[in-house]
Amino acid sequence: MSANGKKVVLPKFAESPGQAIDGLLTLEEMAYPDTSALQPTDVLVAVKSTSVSFVDLIMMTGQYQHMAEPPFTPGLEYSGEVIWVGSDVVRFEVGDRVMSDFMTVGPRSKGAYRHYGGWASYAVAPENGVLPIPDGYDFDEGCALLGSYETPYFALVKRANIQPGESVLITGASGAAGMSAVQMAKLLGATVIATGRSDEKLAAVKAFGADHVINTSPRDGEDGVPRFREDVKACTNGEGVDVVYDAVGGDVGHEALRSLAFGGRFIIVGWTSNVADSGGRATFEPDRLPTNIMQMKCLQVMGSPMVIYSMRHPEYRAGQLKQILTWAEQSKLRPHISHRFPLEQFRDAARAKLNGKISGSCVLSL
Ligand SMILES: NC(=O)c1ccc[n+]([C@@H]2O[C@H](COP(=O)([O-])OP(=O)(O)OC[C@H]3O[C@@H](n4cnc5c(N)ncnc54)[C@H](OP(=O)(O)O)[C@@H]3O)[C@@H](O)[C@H]2O)c1
């Protein structure tokens, strides 16, 4: 096989995701990799599907905590078919369906494989950098599985230690890490209250399993995020929730903190509401949460840096991966993918993600 392919390239960091999408990203020819130059433990993957994630977008600006190294091909996660294996590869053969491990390969990783992002026809990985796609999963679902589900597993199981019968408030529930959190929290036996700003996307969140949904857009005649703590209390017998899974931060995160029951746990997952429009990393202003509320309500506020923790504790991650893959094989977890685009329409796909059109995951197909 020697067919040439194509790849998307970011030549340098942008000021904003919008600038990257409109002005910097290019679609280039990609030569079929020279397999004689690869390692004997490598596999070559013909990419079939790759995700377009929030982290992909902010990584283009250098605002993300892990700095990729331009020029690079975006695409934290991909799935595809093995088309070549090195002489020492034991776990895979040509024709196998695999998905990438974004901590070992692609722009979220360190080392030799960081330049092989998923927005490309071909990707090279060491054999321990890919996993078999669970039975019954297609390529699109394969590239949207690990990042989405490892995030809530770490937050809800490892950090919050959520128990059956508890209640959880999930902010940004229509996002990739939000939808997966809704599904996982239900699997863990929790009552789920989900927030978002679009009735249409919240309908998708409810159809995906949320017990209650709350729209956090400004209400009639008012500005800003409403006092939705009252709505949360109405869903929890006036008590407030046991756990908050906050992927939004800012005013939504602040109000979510005030929606907790006495002794509740607040899990910091992300801050989609707090992305600088320009200026890269230097302009980032972290959220500030009120210590008086934490003190008077006896709250536990916890960071939940899933990737950083998993990289520091590979033995922990092995169990996390095993549980997620088991649930996936049992069809208890299945990513919600609202939009699919051909690779050539990567600008439309990235714009749709940036402009909040996606519920769950967005996938590019090759
Ligand atoms: N802790 C970890 O280990 C970990 C791992 C992965 C990701 N993350 C972080 O988790 C966050 C969510 O990631 P994701 O992949 O789910 O992102 P996503 O797919 O883009 O979804 C985020 C959701 O947040 C809401 N949102 C976006 N901008 C907002 C704003 N200005 N104000 C209020 N709500 C807003 C949107 O919902 P509506 O339009 O419905 O409001 C959107 O669906 C990010 O900050 C990401 O960096 C953390």
Specify the residue with its C-alpha closest to ligand 1, atom 33: 273
User: Both 154 and 201 in a single domain?
Assistant: yes
Q: Cα–Cα–Cα angle for 323, 335, 5, nearest 5°?
A: 105
CATH number of the structural domain spanning residue 226? 3.90.180.10
Q: How many CB atoms are located within 10 Å of the residue 286 CB?
A: 8
Q: What is the pLDDT of residue 65?
A: 81
Mean local confidence (pLDDT), 112-125 = 96
Return the percentage of the chain with pLDDT > 70, whole number.
97
User: Both 138 and 257 in a single domain?
Assistant: no
User: Is 315 among the domain residues?
Assistant: no
Mean local confidence (pLDDT), 305-323 = 96
Q: Tens digit of pLDDT for each residue in 170-179?
A: 999 999 999 9
Mean local confidence (pLDDT), 36-42 = 97
237: left (phi over 0), alpha (psi -120 to 50) or beta: left
User: Is 321 among the domain residues?
Assistant: no
User: Both 249 and 220 in a single domain?
Assistant: yes
User: Is 325 among the domain residues?
Assistant: no
Q: Could you tell me the pTM of the whole model?
A: 0.96
What's the CA gap between 54 and 269, in Å, rounded? 13
Determine the atom of ligand 1 nearest the C-alpha atom of 64: 47
Specify the residue with its C-alpha closest to ligand 1, atom 32: 273
Q: 56 alpha carbon to ligand 1 midpoint, in Å? A: 12
Number of compact structural domains in the chain: 2
User: Is 97 among the domain residues?
Assistant: yes
SS3 track for 74-96: CCCCEEEEEEEECCCCCCCCCCC
Does 193 have pLDDT greater than 80?
yes
User: Both 155 and 103 in a single domain?
Assistant: no
Does 159 have pLDDT greater than 80?
yes
Q: What is the pLDDT of residue 122?
A: 98
- Using pLDDT thresholds of 50, 70 and 90, give the confidence band for residue 221: confident
Take residue 71 and report the two structure tokens written for it: 């020029």
Q: What is the pLDDT of residue 116?
A: 94
Q: What is the pLDDT of residue 278?
A: 58
Query: Does residue 304's CB lie within 6 angstroms of at least one atom of ligand 1?
Result: yes
Q: Compute, in degrees rounded to 10, the torsion defined by CA atoms 148, 150, 153, 154.
A: -120
Query: Does residue 337's CB lie within 6 angstroms of at least one atom of ligand 1?
Result: no
User: Both 199 and 141 in a single domain?
Assistant: no
Mean local confidence (pLDDT), 206-227 = 96
Pairing of strands 241-246, 361-365: unpaired
Query: Does residue 181's CB lie within 6 angstroms of at least one atom of ligand 1?
Result: no
On average, the pLDDT of the chain sits at 95
Query: Does residue 172's CB lie within 6 angstroms of at least one atom of ligand 1?
Result: yes
Query: Does residue 51's CB lie within 6 angstroms of at least one atom of ligand 1?
Result: no
Q: Tens digit of pLDDT for each residue in 55-106?
A: 999 999 887 888 888 999 999 999 999 999 999 999 999 999 999 999 999 9
Query: Does residue 273's CB lie within 6 angstroms of at least one atom of ligand 1?
Result: yes
Specify the residue with its C-alpha closest to ligand 1, atom 31: 273
Q: What is the pLDDT of residue 277?
A: 61
User: Both 278 and 302 in a single domain?
Assistant: yes
Say what angle helices 176-187 and 199-207 make with each other, to 10 degrees: 30
Domain stop point among 259, 290, 307: 307
Q: 266 alpha carbon to ligand 1 midpoint, in Å? A: 16
What's the CA gap between 193 and 205, in Å, rounded? 10
User: Both 23 and 131 in a single domain?
Assistant: yes
Query: Does residue 175's CB lie within 6 angstroms of at least one atom of ligand 1?
Result: yes
Using CB atoms within 10 Å of the CB of residue 131, give its burial: 0 to 12 exposed, 13 to 18 middle, 19+ buried: buried
- Using pLDDT thresholds of 50, 70 and 90, give the confidence band for residue 197: very high
Q: 38 alpha carbon to ligand 1 midpoint, in Å? A: 37
Query: Which residue range forms the structural domain that includes residue 297?
Result: 147-307
User: Is 316 among the domain residues?
Assistant: no
User: Is 319 among the domain residues?
Assistant: no
User: Both 277 and 361 in a single domain?
Assistant: no
Mean local confidence (pLDDT), 103-121 = 94
User: Is 81 among the domain residues?
Assistant: yes
User: Both 115 and 171 in a single domain?
Assistant: no
Specify the residue with its C-alpha closest to ligand 1, atom 1: 269
Specify the residue with its C-alpha closest to ligand 1, atom 10: 270
Q: What is the pLDDT of residue 139?
A: 98
Mean local confidence (pLDDT), 190-204 = 97
Q: Tens digit of pLDDT for each residue in 263-305?
A: 999 999 999 988 766 555 555 678 899 999 999 999 999 999 9
Determine the atom of ligand 1 nearest the C-alpha atom of 272: 45
Does 198 have pLDDT greater than 90?
yes
Q: What is the pLDDT of residue 286?
A: 83
User: Both 139 and 230 in a single domain?
Assistant: no
Specify the residue with its C-alpha closest to ligand 1, atom 30: 273
Q: What is the pLDDT of residue 66?
A: 85
